Structure 1
Amino acid sequence: MTDGTSSRQDQILKLLLNARRGMSLDEIASALNISRNAVNQHVVSLESSDLIKKDTFKITGGRPSRNYVLTEKGINRFPKQYAWFCNLMLAELKAEMGEEAFGRYMARLGAKFAQTLMAQFNDKEPGDRITALVETMQALGYHATEEQNAPTPSIRAFNCVYHDLAQQFPELCEFDRALMSTLLNRPIEQTECMARNDCSCKFLIKNN
């Protein structure tokens, strides 16, 4: 957890993770056995990166001291383990629903998610919709590109955002196809898939 922070700043973040009610500069200095001025310099840097923030004053026998706590961004710097839970949940859903119903469920989710984005697409011409879809997929982490020179326009994605899960649950690809088809209002045919060991995922954009 050293990306963008020094090891000393990482230590401060860990201290605040274990003290959700916050710590003062003096308390941090004491815990790390460094000067208050040194702590203050690190705190200023962490504040500017929106990793910590000022919180309530702490009243002690002496003067009131300001507490510092982690921000949501600071909390999210620490590792989160979502994959095992998603795996467990998807396995249970597939077992309960059956393979075909599970695939249809993923397609419904993709179409439903597309509706939340539809306002960005409604006033666009078909070609502009494809460009907007690529931009949307980029924002979602797919590393997508538009291929216009082929006889059939297509979109190629070089990153599967749930690659490990898709290898175990290929029905997740129904989500992508439904998302793209709904936003473009055109059928989508997937001809390559990274979950099937292809180098990328390729989606042909068919005519209605």
Structure 2
Amino acid sequence: MEFEEARATVPQGTSAPGHDQPTRERVARSILVNGPSTAAALAERLDLTPAAVRRHLDQLLEEGAVEAREPRSTAVRGRGRPAKVFALTEAGRDLFDQQYDDLAVQALRFLRETGGDTAVREFATRRAAFISERFEGVRAEHPELGSAEVLAKVFTDEGYAAAVRDVPVGEQLCQQHCPVSHVAHEFPQLCEAETQAISLVLGRHVQRLATIAHGDGVCTTCIPDIPTTDTKERVS
């Protein structure tokens, strides 16, 4: 299946054959950006009928682009089983922007063979430099945003579909998509360099809790409220 840009607006609840593909892309992209979602949430988000969303989900399931999961929430609901959530599979993520993963992996393997792990780490650090290079500029452009929200915008602009979630200990930076996840599966130095760069621009210790590269649905970084005393110096 290949996704293409929508060129026309389909009235709510309708879907002529020529419009199926763009609408299906909207469903998949909504899951990419917002994370695993129920059919009802997708219908509301995309202004479609639940029946239309389920039809597209059925097709995406058949193609292997999404998978149905049991919801994690244990909140008390009404009668009946909790609604399933739909998440992108590895194949579904491939449909967006990972065409060059094989080439990137081969290049990093060559770099490791010729320069060792040190060369790979240096490459990963250089790649993650976009975080420090763009952080102050984005913060100056958007003074209304908190530091974690600035980071989310920096990552989103780089294709990570990032957002911030409040948690009791502080905040979590959640990346619903990772454009280098397949490469990072073999070369975790990419994830480690990003985490270190986040820590340095925020001036505090952060902890990576989950990564798409290692099978989690979302890359999640915990940002505690209180800065530590040993990482207050920002990257220049």
Given that 1:121 and 1:183 are in contact with CA atoms closer than 8 Å, whether structure 2 keeps it comes out as no
Q: List alignment gaps of at least 5 residues for structure 2.
A: 8-96, 229-236
2:159 is matched with which residue: 141, 146, 163?
Answer: 141
Residues 150 and 99 (structure 1), Cα distance of their counterparts in 2 relative to 1, 3 Å cut: farther
2:182 is matched with which residue: 164, 170, 178?
Answer: 164
- Aligned residue runs from structure 1 range 96-135, under 5 A: 96-99=114-117, 102-111=120-129, 114-121=132-139, 128-135=146-153
Deviation at 1:104, TM superposition (A): 4.7
Residues 193 and 147 (structure 1), Cα distance of their counterparts in 2 relative to 1, 3 Å cut: same
TM-score (norm 2): 0.47
Residues 185 and 118 (structure 1), Cα distance of their counterparts in 2 relative to 1, 3 Å cut: same
Alignment-derived partner of residue 199 in structure 2: 181
Given that 2:162 and 2:175 are in contact with CA atoms closer than 8 Å, whether structure 1 keeps it comes out as yes
Q: For the pair shown, which has the larger CA radius of gyration, 1 or 2?
A: 1
Residues 90 and 108 (structure 1), Cα distance of their counterparts in 2 relative to 1, 3 Å cut: same
| Identical amino acids, percent of aligned pairs | 19
Q: Secondary structure at the match of 2:168?
A: coil
Given that 2:131 and 2:198 are in contact with CA atoms closer than 8 Å, whether structure 1 keeps it comes out as no
Deviation at 1:4, TM superposition (A): 5.7
Residues 152 and 106 (structure 1), Cα distance of their counterparts in 2 relative to 1, 3 Å cut: same
- Aligned residue runs from structure 1 range 1-208, under 5 A: 3=5, 82-99=100-117, 102-111=120-129, 114-121=132-139, 128-206=146-224, 207-208=227-228
Given that 1:154 and 1:203 are in contact with CA atoms closer than 8 Å, whether structure 2 keeps it comes out as yes
Deviation at 1:121, TM superposition (A): 3.2
Cα distance between partner residues in 2 of 1:80 and 1:99: 24
- Give a deviation string over 1:49-103, Cα, whole Å, max 9, x none: xxxxxxxxxxxxxxxxxxxxxxxxxxxxxx9953333222111112233335523
TM-score (norm 1): 0.53
Given that 2:165 and 2:172 are in contact with CA atoms closer than 8 Å, whether structure 1 keeps it comes out as yes
Residues 137 and 152 (structure 1), Cα distance of their counterparts in 2 relative to 1, 3 Å cut: same
Given that 1:114 and 1:183 are in contact with CA atoms closer than 8 Å, whether structure 2 keeps it comes out as yes
Q: List alignment gaps of at least 5 residues for structure 1.
A: 6-78
Instruction: Give the paired residue count.
Output: 135
Cα distance between partner residues in 1 of 2:132 and 2:192: 13
- Provide the aligned C-alpha RMSD in A: 3.2
Cα distance between partner residues in 2 of 1:129 and 1:120: 10
Cα distance between partner residues in 2 of 1:157 and 1:141: 9
